[in-house]
């Protein structure tokens, strides 16, 4: 492939902390991060990380130990994450929006030696949750309050005071675990995907080389228990020597002003987030001319929204990846048109291996659905404590089974048609929900659509569709069904169509199809 913008500039690294060290040595006064106008330089951040690493070491945290951190996207998160990287320990992010049961699952499964947490955020205080986690996980030797006061917890400033000025011992195993990321768990309990230090750092390099521009400023408002919130919008810009603009919450009304204030150049979100921001009057009023790259993943982008984002002048692209892959493995071409951006995940990154395979692992012909399978040095090493699930996730020749079904178009772009687990049979025919959703979204009044299977006494299963229509539209369920009949074979046409105000979302921003199935069945 041709040289990428960041080739020869973005450093290779064995761990994320090396990226900070590289740029701090060369540009110590360059902007590093920013929360509401409070800023750090690379030199200041390097000193903070070194102090935190020494404090962790003085507290008995060593290579391979796990530290669970309940936090929003904020500078303390990044300090702790990079300090853990420095000493070879493992980050376990906890989403402040998790229920107590979800927190308990992640903590009892990962068995951290140290728990760090916000005392409160928004309208929620975490003292009770932290106490419950301590009681449930005997592995926790100590708790630290990142902000405010937590009963029985050491304040973060006092914790950092344990540093005696001596450098912490550096990690020695670059292939040891850097992160444990819990999958969204739409079916069954979330599994902890283990990602190694070298795998994570290499993923940052690969993405940063493709997206490189200077000076880069990324908006970081995604949860830091997810690879997108730790890697894509934080460590990838750091690999470029760029800055991170933190927002602790997703606030559609405030984002346009933040883009203008901080001069954000790199904006990555889930498509539903873009929809909510672009619909705000503040977006039309703000100066967004600083934007140079806009990327999305996790869900398809409505075509009319592509056009709205293109008006900013930024380069647009889908980025396709998943928790277990760590790195993004497919991108749209720089000159991709609106239809391609809305309906494909682009082309595979030629630096990484991607294949479409049939049920027996055989290559599928162009235009035939096959499972996306991946092989590269950035993949997870496995699911924590689940050897059988890990073995099932990989093929005999080392490819990760993504569970995503896709077809290759004649132009080489790839279109997702559904999940292996989402595909259903109606009257003996395979139905791929994403194919049906794309057809529904071709209607000019449909903003977004989701299709789920429901039991049927005649056809075994049939599709139930939920559609969000544009404000002021008068599209009816019958009219949308007629549209589907004009674009799809009869067995693919949803037997039920419901117009709803909004689609339910998981904390990751993806559509909660389990909730839609429950709704469809109950109706």
Per-residue pLDDT of 266-303, as tens digits, reads 999 988 789 889 999 999 999 999 999 999 987 778 88
Contacts of 426 (CB under 8 A, 6+ apart): 453, 456, 459, 460, 461, 462, 463, 491, 492
pLDDT at 423 over 80: no
Per-residue pLDDT of 450-465, as tens digits, reads 999 998 887 778 999 9
Contact of 463 with 451, CB cutoff 8 Å: yes
Instruction: Check which CATH number belongs to the domain holding 451 and give it.
Output: 3.30.300.30
Residue of 374, 371, 366 lying closest to 328 (CA atoms) = 374
Terminal alpha carbon distance of the chain? 52
Per-residue pLDDT of 26-39, as tens digits, reads 999 999 999 999 99
Report how far residue 409's alpha carbon sits from residue 339's, in angstroms, rounded to the nearest whole number: 13
- pLDDT above 90 as % of the chain: 82
pLDDT tier at 187, thresholds 50, 70, 90: very low
Task: Report yes or no on 73 lying in a domain.
Answer: no
What is the predicted pLDDT for the residue at 427? 73
Task: Report yes or no on 134 lying in a domain.
Answer: no
Contact of 196 with 178, CB cutoff 8 Å: yes
pLDDT at 487 over 50: yes
Average pLDDT estimate for 162-185: 90
The angle at the Cα of 26, spanning 25 to 32, to the nearest 5 degrees, equals 85
Report how far residue 359's alpha carbon sits from residue 305's, in angstroms, rounded to the nearest whole number: 35
Average pLDDT estimate for 53-78: 98
For residue 424, the cross-strand partners are: 431
Task: Report yes or no on 76 lying in a domain.
Answer: no
Residue of 230, 233, 232 lying closest to 90 (CA atoms) = 230
Per-residue pLDDT of 101-137, as tens digits, reads 889 999 999 999 999 999 999 999 999 999 999 999 9
Boundaries of domain holding 478: 422-522
What is the predicted pLDDT for the residue at 184? 62
What is the predicted pLDDT for the residue at 186? 45
Mean of the per-residue pLDDT values of the chain: 94
Where helices occur in 137-196 by DSSP H, the ranges are 156-160
Report how far residue 318's alpha carbon sits from residue 346's, in angstroms, rounded to the nearest whole number: 7
Task: Report yes or no on 123 lying in a domain.
Answer: no
Average pLDDT estimate for 235-249: 98
What is the predicted pLDDT for the residue at 508? 67
The angle at the Cα of 397, spanning 391 to 399, to the nearest 5 degrees, equals 70
C-alpha distances out from residue 51 to 72, 80, 520, Å: 21, 10, 53
Task: Report yes or no on 126 lying in a domain.
Answer: no
Report how far residue 458's alpha carbon sits from residue 465's, in angstroms, rounded to the nearest whole number: 19
Task: Report yes or no on 484 lying in a domain.
Answer: yes
In sequence order, what E strands does 380-459 have? 382-383, 400-408, 414-419, 424-426, 429-431, 446-456
What is the predicted pLDDT for the residue at 1? 65
Please tell me the total number of residues recorded for the chain in this structure. 523
Task: Report yes or no on 469 lying in a domain.
Answer: yes
Q: To 10 degrees, what angle do helices 303-310 and 271-278 make?
A: 60
The sign of the CA dihedral 453, 181, 74, 32 is negative
- pLDDT above 70 as % of the chain: 98
The four Cα atoms 368, 331, 81, 109 give a dihedral, to 10 degrees, of -10
What is the predicted pLDDT for the residue at 275? 86
Place of tokens 């070194």: 50
Report how far residue 112's alpha carbon sits from residue 91's, in angstroms, rounded to the nearest whole number: 9
Contacts of 40 (CB under 8 A, 6+ apart): 31, 32, 33, 34, 48, 75
The sign of the CA dihedral 186, 436, 408, 318 is negative
Higher pLDDT, 475 or 271: 475
Buried b (16+ CB within 10 A) or exposed e, 471-491: eeeebeeeebbebbeeebeee
pLDDT at 486 over 80: yes
Per-residue pLDDT of 345-390, as tens digits, reads 999 999 999 999 998 889 999 999 999 999 999 999 999 999 999 9
Average pLDDT estimate for 417-423: 78
Q: What is the CA radius of gyration of the chain?
A: 23
Contact of 369 with 405, CB cutoff 8 Å: yes
Average pLDDT estimate for 172-189: 83
Report how far residue 290's alpha carbon sits from residue 313's, in angstroms, rounded to the nearest whole number: 9
Report how far residue 305's alpha carbon sits from residue 277's, in angstroms, rounded to the nearest whole number: 11
Contacts of 197 (CB under 8 A, 6+ apart): 14, 15, 16, 85, 88, 171, 173, 174, 175, 176, 177, 178
Report how far residue 90's alpha carbon sits from residue 84's, in angstroms, rounded to the nearest whole number: 6
| Domain total in the chain | 1
Q: How is residue 319 written in tokens?
A: 């980025």
Task: Report yes or no on 489 lying in a domain.
Answer: yes
Of 12-16, 93-97, 154-158, 470-474, which gets the smallest average pLDDT? 470-474
Peptide bond into 215 cis (omega under 30): yes
pLDDT tier at 67, thresholds 50, 70, 90: very high
pLDDT at 434 over 90: no
pLDDT tier at 83, thresholds 50, 70, 90: very high
The angle at the Cα of 414, spanning 412 to 417, to the nearest 5 degrees, equals 145
Report how far residue 483's alpha carbon sits from residue 471's, in angstroms, rounded to the nearest whole number: 19
């Amino acid at each position: 492939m041709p040289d990428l913008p960041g080739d020869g500039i973005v450093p290779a690294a064995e761990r994320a902390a090396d990226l900070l060290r590289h740029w701090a040595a060369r540009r110590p006064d360059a902007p590093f991060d920013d929360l509401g106008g409070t800023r750090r330089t690379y030199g200041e951040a390097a000193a903070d990380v070194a102090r935190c690493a020494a404090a962790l070491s003085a507290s008995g945290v060593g290579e391979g130990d796990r530290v669970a951190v309940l936090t929003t996207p904020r500078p303390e998160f990044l300090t702790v994450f990079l300090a853990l990287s420095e000493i070879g320990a493992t980050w376990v992010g906890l989403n402040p929006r998790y229920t107590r049961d979800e927190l308990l699952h992640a903590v009892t499964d990962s068995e951290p030696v140290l728990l760090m947490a916000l005392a409160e955020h928004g309208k929620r205080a975490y003292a009770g949750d932290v106490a419950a986690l301590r009681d449930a996980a005997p592995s926790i030797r100590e708790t630290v309050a990142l902000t405010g006061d937590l009963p029985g917890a050491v304040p973060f400033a006092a914790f950092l005071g344990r540093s005696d000025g001596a450098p912490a011992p550096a990690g020695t195993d670059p292939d040891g675990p850097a992160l444990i990321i819990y999958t969204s768990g739409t079916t069954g309990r979330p599994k902890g995907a283990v990602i190694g230090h070298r795998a994570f750092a290499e993923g940052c390099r690969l993405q940063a080389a493709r997206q490189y521009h200077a000076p880069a400023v990324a908006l970081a408002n995604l949860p830091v228990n997810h690879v997108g919130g730790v890697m894509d919008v934080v460590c990838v810009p750091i690999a470029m020597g760029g800055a991170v603009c933190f927002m602790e919450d997703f606030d559609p009304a405030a984002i346009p002003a933040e883009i203008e204030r901080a001069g954000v150049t790199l904006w990555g979100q889930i498509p539903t987030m873009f929809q909510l921001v672009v619909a705000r009057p503040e977006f039309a009023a703000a100066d967004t001319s600083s934007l140079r790259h806009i990327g999305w993943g996790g869900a398809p982008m409505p075509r009319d929204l592509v056009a709205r984002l293109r008006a900013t002048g930024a380069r647009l692209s889908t980025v396709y990846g998943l928790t277990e892959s760590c790195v993004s493995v497919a991108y749209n071409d720089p000159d991709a048109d609106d239809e391609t951006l809305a309906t494909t995940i682009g082309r595979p990154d030629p630096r990484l291996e991607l294949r479409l395979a049939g049920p027996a692992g055989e290559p599928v012909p162009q235009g035939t659905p096959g499972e996306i399978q991946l092989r590269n040095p950035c993949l997870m090493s496995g699911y924590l404590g689940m050897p059988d699930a890990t073995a099932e996730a990989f093929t005999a020749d080392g490819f990760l089974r993504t569970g995503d079904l896709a077809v290759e178009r004649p132009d080489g772009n790839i279109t997702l048609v559904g999940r292996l687990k989402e595909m259903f049979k109606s009257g003996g025919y395979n139905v791929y929900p994403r194919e049906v959703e794309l057809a529904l979204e071709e209607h000019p009044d449909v903003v977004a659509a989701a299709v789920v299977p429901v039991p049927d006494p005649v056809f075994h299963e049939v599709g139930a569709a939920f559609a969000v229509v544009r404000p002021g539209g008068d599209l009816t369920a019958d009219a949308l069904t007629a549209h589907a009949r004009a674009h799809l074979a009869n067995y693919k046409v949803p037997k039920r169509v419901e117009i709803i105000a909004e689609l339910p979302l998981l904390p990751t921003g993806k559509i909660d199809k389990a909730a839609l199935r429950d709704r469809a069945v109950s109706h």
